[in-house]
């Protein structure tokens, strides 16, 4: 099962690399510009889940682990989007980090059933 997920992630990375190498952002439409960010978000999520799963080794419920991975994914994707439009500043990093800290504390305090 883990090998299957690893192969799927490697395929996504390959698709992302091919897309980035073969396109010019100034020549494609806006919806196509968002494709690399969506692919990167899926890759970030899979890697974050894998790393958190290895770090906590079953001490956290799977639902909370998925939420932590999602929060990290949102943070990384947010940084990438802000950087691409030239709006990533120290203050933006602090605000995004604060949102992540508050989200993690909230998730840790209250049980998530879903």
pLDDT at 112 (0 to 100)? 55
pTM score, whole prediction: 0.76
More confident residue, 8 or 97: 8
Q: Where are the alpha helices (DSSP H) in 1-114?
A: 2-22, 30-33, 35-56, 62-84, 90-109
Task: For residue range 6-54, list pLDDT tens digits in order.
Answer: 899 899 999 999 998 998 878 888 888 888 989 999 999 999 998 888 8
How many Å separate Cα 13 from the centre of its chain? 13
pLDDT bin (cut points 50, 70, 90) of residue 92 is confident
Please determine, for residue 78, whether its predicted confidence score (pLDDT) is greater than 70.
yes
């Amino acid at each position: 099962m883990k090998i299957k997920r690893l192969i799927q992630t490697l395929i996504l990375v390959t698709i992302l690399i091919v897309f980035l190498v073969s396109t010019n952002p100034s020549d494609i439409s806006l919806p196509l510009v968002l494709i690399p960010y969506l692919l990167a978000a899926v890759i970030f999520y899979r890697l974050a889940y894998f790393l958190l799963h290895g770090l906590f080794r079953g001490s956290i419920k799977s639902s909370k682990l998925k939420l932590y991975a999602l929060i990290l994914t949102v943070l990384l994707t947010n940084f990438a989007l802000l950087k691409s439009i030239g709006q990533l500043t120290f203050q933006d990093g602090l605000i995004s980090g604060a949102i992540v800290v508050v989200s993690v504390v909230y998730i840790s305090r209250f049980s998530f059933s879903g």
